[in-house]
Structure 1
Amino acid sequence: MENSRIVIDGVGLGCAEVARVAREEIPVTVGPAGLERARRAWRVAAEVVAVQPVYGRTTGVGANRLVNVEWDPEDTEHGLHLLRSHAAGAGPLLGHEVARAMLTVRLNQLAAGGSGVDPGVLGALADTLNLGLVPPVPAYGAIGTGDLTALASTALCLLGERAWLTSADEGARPGPGFALKSSDALAFISSNAATLGEAALAVTDLRTLLAASTVVAALSLHAVHGSLEPYAPVVHEACPHPGQQQVAAAMRALLAWERPTPGRIQDPYGYRAFPQVHGPAVDTVGHAEATITREINAAAENPLVDVAGHTVWHNGNFHTAYVGLALDAARAAVFQTAALSAARLGTLVEPTFTGLHPFQAATDVSSGIMILEYVAHSAIGDVRRLATPAALGSAVLSRGVEEHAGFSTQSARATTEAVAGYRIALACELVAAVRALRMQGRPPSGGPLREAHDLAAEVLDPRVEDRPLDADIATAADLLTRLSVGGRPPTPPAPGR
């Protein structure tokens, strides 16, 4: 990124940058190296297709791969038939952010070289992003072996047969166009860019929520007079999983300003086993992000145009089993740590842990925050449902020629939905932790945990009488992104300070 503009070069795009383009509408520009890679692949594709059969260029697609098509560099009809027939998705349209993420990923993939698509497409896609336009893309149509319906719809927008959509709900309008040749039709749509774009957004959100969860858990531990003993370095050196060690270190740093007298010899699992449960979520989401990053910077094209070897290779890189399995694992791990958040919430309504009335109520007969547990478990129920592995499904398509699918598209969508449930569960815990500390008159002593507490206390309603808590939950949910910064607090003070 340079001067608030993200350079798309085919090799260095990260999930967080995809999210910035998709959500903040940061301008993009195509890097010269990426444009040159695309140009060289385009030239080699044209030369190779003149002397040998190439799938999708001189043949039909799917089970029609054995049907020969007479290659003509000026022909447009064959490609149009392909695009029109494949632009047949169904259901609600993808959200504006997901559609922008798809365009960003496909632009970067084309800049990686290997597709053989006319390099002029790169400029058209960049212009589309910079104008804030997206194609109308129905949600249903892909199963992890290529987002054919989504990208066929995009191609028809480039050809002017369909109108682009705006971000301001102004409806459809014309936009940048490009005359795709027939030989480029399959090459343009043979990609998982929509799936990868949504996956990039989801893992970016999960990383933020996992960091925020550590801060919220530290606030809860302080509110219940918890012990710091479970986070001691020697404990995690004895069982050195990377995520576990990272979480324990973050908790030590957040709580370094406190000198608590533990309320009990051993805390419940929500505190005592937090590194061991939250750590796997950190590790699996990190693995998922690395997997998705690798894919969005890959020339995962079929056929792959090999510039160095001056040939093409028919292959299976269109299959995103790695992505689907990584996201499936991430959701399972996130459910585990979300359930632990609900367990901590359970301690925050108990007088034996907080020293307050039951449910942190104003009186013994008031309900206080009783309903927060119901809301949290309702949200976590969805996270649990969504944790079912999408990879357990498969499909046989196109007259038996395409006999497997990993459903990574469904895995990405489930991960997006799981993010929403996890966010609500954490928000409920945050409301309860801050309310307990406020009623106890025990804000954290200092450091990043005090900063997080004060940030939350400033915007959360201080009233403790029985009242609707929906606004509190919404405020806390919006606050989590800002709290996530506290996951990497400054150096704590020396002991005894």
Structure 2
Amino acid sequence: LLKVQSLSYGFSGCKLDTVERLIDMFNNDIFPIILEQGSLGASGDLVPLAHMSLPLVGLGEVEMNGEIVSGEEMNRRMNWKPIELASKEGLALLNGTQNMSAQAVWAVLNAQRLSEWADVIAAMSLDAFDGRIEPFTHAVHAVRPHQGQIETAARFRQLLEGSELIARPKKHVQDPYSFRCVPQVHGTVKDTLRYVYSVIDTEINSATDNPTVCPDEDLIISAGNFHGEPIALPMDYLAIAMSELANISERRIYRLVSGLRELPSFLVAKPGLNSGFMIAQYTAASVVSLNKSYAVPSSIDSIPSCQDQEDLVSMGANAAIKLRKVVENTERVLAIELFNAAQALDFRRPLVSSPELMKVYEAYRKVVPFIDTDVIMYPHIEDSVKFLRK
């Protein structure tokens, strides 16, 4: 879809039938089999886009109706003739940042969803941990007016309005940073997302192949719009931000199972032989640690290629692969936090949280039950992930 968009501007020197065939494939749910690795993120995503384009000329493989078939078989089944590429068309198809961009779009959309969930889940954890609402007061954030910080604090005040737990007198003066500094941390993720969204939005509405055909100027210019640097750095930035979102989530999980503030150790309903949510926290810690490795920027690396003609590459495709993995891992950590927060809320009864959070809690309890005695946990974690996707 992104390749069609890029070619459709008319700055690529591409025939109409080539673009129409890509559209026909897309509209008929015919998906080229594209290998994940091989792009340096400069000269475009040459290897992945080559795999995408091979079926046009009857080569490569595609998935049709859940079956993997050759490009030749695709043409036979669809009664299509292979596209005969004219001069420049091979470059138009293979140059470009569509492999990086497609993964970036997926990551941004899912990161936005998870950012919203992170606020809801963290608010539930704060209430279950008997946390304080004062750090979310608007006056605090008005003197350091980062947009995401102000939005997050306002969202928490809304989420916790009417909670019996947040309103009750507190014995403690302060909360740990993983609760108290949520506006600053979650807010920074929101601001990062805004920036990365704007960059990716520009990228997917651009012509990114080479050379660039400029019909109004009657010029064909060999330049560098295929270079992935404009999105490689933002993708690395978003991977760092999402890694931090998982990081702070795991710290809240740790607090909830630590036997603090009248919550039972490991959230065990029946202590003794039961270990409760101990291993769920181990799992979150493992995933968070892996995220930290993935968050090391790919864009700071470059390995020259093409006899040193391509002497600085973006490695944006590797940034995209790692970003996707970080987003998936962050979803899993947030699902584990929700699993813990709901369990902790049950130990606060008869007091309940706010009406808005209790709606989330009640919907979640239709999917994942209160854990009374030790059970196999991974199905409940998987159900929690599915709950976040709904």
Question: How many Å apart are 1:461 and its aligned residue?
Answer: 1.9
Aligned match of 1:106 = 3
Choose the corresponding residue for 1:121, options 11, 15, 18: 18
How many angstroms apart in 2 are the aligned matches of 1:340 and 1:426? 10
Aligned match of 2:335 = 427
- For residue 187 of structure 1, give the secondary structure of its aligned residue in structure 2: helix
Aligned match of 1:200 = 105
- For residue 278 of structure 1, give the secondary structure of its aligned residue in structure 2: helix
Does residue 318 (structure 1) correspond to residue 230 (structure 2)? The answer is no
- For residue 312 of structure 1, give the secondary structure of its aligned residue in structure 2: strand
How many angstroms apart in 1 are the aligned matches of 2:20 and 2:279? 53
How many angstroms apart in 1 are the aligned matches of 2:281 and 2:133? 25
Letter in 2 for 1:131: N
How many angstroms apart in 2 are the aligned matches of 1:141 and 1:368? 44
How many angstroms apart in 2 are the aligned matches of 1:406 and 1:134? 27
Question: How many Å apart are 1:263 and its aligned residue?
Answer: 4.5
Seen in structure 2, the aligned counterparts of structure 1 residues 305 and 170 have a Cα distance that, compared at 3 Å, is closer
Letter in 2 for 1:239: R
- For residue 93 of structure 2, give the secondary structure of its aligned residue in structure 1: helix
Asked if 1 retains the 8 angstrom alpha-carbon contact of 2:159 and 2:354, the reply is: no
Question: How many Å apart are 1:107 and its aligned residue?
Answer: 0.7
Letter in 2 for 1:166: M
**Per-residue Cα deviation, 1:179-208 (whole angstroms, up to 9, x for no partner):** 222332112211111111111111111111
- For residue 256 of structure 1, give the secondary structure of its aligned residue in structure 2: coil
How many angstroms apart in 2 are the aligned matches of 1:170 and 1:311? 42
Choose the corresponding residue for 2:66, options 168, 174, 187: 168
Question: How many Å apart are 1:285 and its aligned residue?
Answer: 2.1
Letter in 1 for 2:96: S
- For residue 306 of structure 2, give the secondary structure of its aligned residue in structure 1: coil
Seen in structure 2, the aligned counterparts of structure 1 residues 158 and 471 have a Cα distance that, compared at 3 Å, is same
Normalising by structure 2, we get a TM-score of 0.92
How many angstroms apart in 1 are the aligned matches of 2:87 and 2:296? 40
Asked if 1 retains the 8 angstrom alpha-carbon contact of 2:335 and 2:388, the reply is: yes
Letter in 2 for 1:203: V
Structure 1 portions without partners, runs of 5+: 1-103, 483-497
Normalising by structure 1, we get a TM-score of 0.73
Asked if 2 retains the 8 angstrom alpha-carbon contact of 1:443 and 1:453, the reply is: no
Aligned match of 1:477 = 385
Superposed counterparts of 1:89-488, under 5 Å = 104-145=1-42, 146-166=44-64, 168-172=66-70, 173-175=73-75, 177-258=82-163, 260-261=167-168, 262-353=170-261, 355-365=262-272, 366-441=274-349, 442-447=351-356, 449-482=357-390
Question: How many Å apart are 1:307 and its aligned residue?
Answer: 2.2
**Per-residue Cα deviation, 1:231-283 (whole angstroms, up to 9, x for no partner):** 11111111111111121111111112225223421111111001111111111
Of the structure 1 ranges 399-408 and 155-164, higher mean CA displacement relative to structure 2 is found in 155-164
Letter in 2 for 1:446: P
Question: How many Å apart are 1:402 and its aligned residue?
Answer: 1.1
Question: How many Å apart are 1:326 and its aligned residue?
Answer: 0.4
How many angstroms apart in 2 are the aligned matches of 1:275 and 1:290? 22
Asked if 1 retains the 8 angstrom alpha-carbon contact of 2:40 and 2:313, the reply is: yes
Asked if 2 retains the 8 angstrom alpha-carbon contact of 1:227 and 1:263, the reply is: no
Q: Taking CA–CA contacts closer than 8 Å with sequence separation of 6 or more, which of the two structures ends up with the larger relative contact order?
A: 2
* Runs ≥4 residues deviating over 4 A: none
**Per-residue Cα deviation, 1:105-164 (whole angstroms, up to 9, x for no partner):** 101111122101012222111110111112222222211111112222333211113342
Letter in 2 for 1:240: P
Of the structure 1 ranges 328-337 and 167-176, higher mean CA displacement relative to structure 2 is found in 167-176
Letter in 2 for 1:161: L
- For residue 12 of structure 2, give the secondary structure of its aligned residue in structure 1: coil
Seen in structure 2, the aligned counterparts of structure 1 residues 217 and 423 have a Cα distance that, compared at 3 Å, is same
Question: How many Å apart are 1:211 and its aligned residue?
Answer: 0.9
Question: How many Å apart are 1:371 and its aligned residue?
Answer: 0.9
How many angstroms apart in 2 are the aligned matches of 1:119 and 1:249? 51
**Per-residue Cα deviation, 1:356-400 (whole angstroms, up to 9, x for no partner):** 321111233231111111010011111111000001210211111
Structure 2 portions without partners, runs of 5+: none
- For residue 192 of structure 2, give the secondary structure of its aligned residue in structure 1: helix
Question: How many Å apart are 1:348 and its aligned residue?
Answer: 0.9
- For residue 178 of structure 1, give the secondary structure of its aligned residue in structure 2: coil
Asked if 1 retains the 8 angstrom alpha-carbon contact of 2:91 and 2:210, the reply is: no
- For residue 390 of structure 1, give the secondary structure of its aligned residue in structure 2: coil
How many angstroms apart in 1 are the aligned matches of 2:153 and 2:305? 48
- For residue 384 of structure 2, give the secondary structure of its aligned residue in structure 1: helix
How many angstroms apart in 2 are the aligned matches of 1:406 and 1:263? 53
How many angstroms apart in 1 are the aligned matches of 2:318 and 2:389? 26
Letter in 2 for 1:304: T
Of the structure 1 ranges 425-434 and 170-179, higher mean CA displacement relative to structure 2 is found in 170-179
Of the structure 1 ranges 198-207 and 433-442, higher mean CA displacement relative to structure 2 is found in 433-442
Letter in 2 for 1:112: Y
Question: How many Å apart are 1:166 and its aligned residue?
Answer: 2.3
**Per-residue Cα deviation, 1:270-314 (whole angstroms, up to 9, x for no partner):** 110011111111111221121111111011232111122121222
**Per-residue Cα deviation, 1:66-114 (whole angstroms, up to 9, x for no partner):** xxxxxxxxxxxxxxxxxxxxxxxxxxxxxxxxxxxxxx11011111221
Of the structure 1 ranges 307-316 and 413-422, higher mean CA displacement relative to structure 2 is found in 307-316
How many angstroms apart in 2 are the aligned matches of 1:292 and 1:374? 35
